[in-house]
Amino acid sequence: MIQEETQASSKGDTTLTLPSERELVISRTFSAPRAVVFEATTKPEHVRNWWGPRGMEMVDCQIDFRVGGSYRYAVRTPDGMEVAFSGVYREIEAPARIVHTEGYEAMPGHDYLSTVTYDEKDGRTTLTVHLLYQTAEDRDGHIASGMESGMRETWDRLAELVETLA
């Protein structure tokens, strides 16, 4: 069992911490202004170009970016399996903060709350995603699924995109 104290690992400047048994915090600094990072993470024409690990094909990218609106991202793995995540926007404070639910569609009933903040300093933006799970088992299951390597690769792709947009 993972202890409730903060644990961290990092590759590049992406950091994962576990502040409590139901939380996961992911943070990375991007070489782009906040408005650029915000746009890259909220507009389908950009999300299609970075969401998901390399080698996966984005097959669905729907974003109804408003409070009460929903989103759905789905990718197809090289072996043909579709993997989809979806949720509903609860709060939007452009370009500083977004709160939304998120769930892996293959496991309904285990949605978690995601609070995303965008903090700019000297033209660089720190993107922090705070995930709050319903249970410690949900959080630990998400971590055990291999999400960390996929998330790191996905955020590497986001870093590449925002540098071209900046």
User: How does DSSP assign 71-116, residue by residue?
Assistant: EEEEEE-TTS-EEEEEEEEEEEETTTEEEEEEEETTSTT--EEEEE
Confidence label for 123 from pLDDT (cuts 50, 70 and 90) = very high
Which DSSP letter does residue 32 get?
Answer: S
Assigned token pair, 89: 């926007």
pTM here is 0.91
Mean per-residue pLDDT, 129-141 = 97
> Domain-by-domain residue ranges, the chain?
8-18+30-165
What mean pLDDT is reported for the chain? Answer: 92
Residues ≥6 apart with Cβ < 8 Å to 61: 44, 47, 48, 51, 72, 73, 74
What percent helix, strand, coil does the chain show, rounded to 5? 25, 40, 35
pLDDT of residue 109: 96
The region, left, alpha or beta by phi > 0 then psi within -120 to 50, assigned to residue 42 is alpha
pLDDT of residue 12: 53
What is the CATH number that goes with domain 8-18+30-165? 3.30.530.20
**Type of residue at 31:** S
Q: What are phi and psi of 29, to 5 degrees?
A: -100, 130
Of the chain, the percentage scoring pLDDT greater than 70 comes to 93
pLDDT digits (tens, 9 = 90+) for 80-118: 999 999 999 999 999 999 999 999 999 999 999 999 999
pLDDT of residue 146: 87
Angle between helices 34-42 and 147-165 (to 10 degrees): 120
pLDDT of residue 39: 98
pLDDT of residue 54: 92
Q: 3-class SS at 6?
A: coil
Of the chain, the percentage scoring pLDDT greater than 90 comes to 87
